[in-house]
Amino acid sequence: MGWEGASNVPESSGDSGRGGPPPLALHERYFERREIREAIAFAEAGGIAVHRNFDSYDGRLSPRGLTMRKPFVHVIGLRPQLEEWGRRHGLRPEWIQPEKRRRVAHYDAFGTFAQALIDRLAATDATR
State yes or no: pLDDT of 83 exceeds 70: yes
CA distances from 71 to 9, 32, 93 (A): 21, 12, 22
In eight-state DSSP terms, residue 61 is: B
Tens-digit pLDDT profile for residues 23-52: 667 999 999 999 999 999 999 999 999 999
State yes or no: pLDDT of 99 exceeds 50: yes
Residue 104 banded pLDDT, cuts 50, 70, 90:
very high
The answer to whether residue 12 is domain-embedded is no
The answer to whether residue 76 is domain-embedded is yes
Residue of 15 and 105 predicted with greater confidence: 105
Tens-digit pLDDT profile for residues 49-80: 999 998 888 999 987 788 889 999 999 999 99
Distance CA 93, CA 59 (A): 25
The answer to whether residue 92 is domain-embedded is yes
The answer to whether residue 3 is domain-embedded is no
Q: Show the domain range for 111.
A: 28-126
pLDDT of residue 123: 81
The answer to whether residue 63 is domain-embedded is yes
State yes or no: pLDDT of 2 exceeds 60: no
The answer to whether residue 107 is domain-embedded is yes
Number of structural domains (the chain) is 1
Identify the three-state secondary structure at position 123. helix
The answer to whether residue 11 is domain-embedded is no
pLDDT of residue 65: 87
The answer to whether residue 21 is domain-embedded is no
- A 10 A CB-CB count for 124 gives 12
Q: Specify whether the CB–CB gap between 5 and 62 falls below 8 A.
A: no
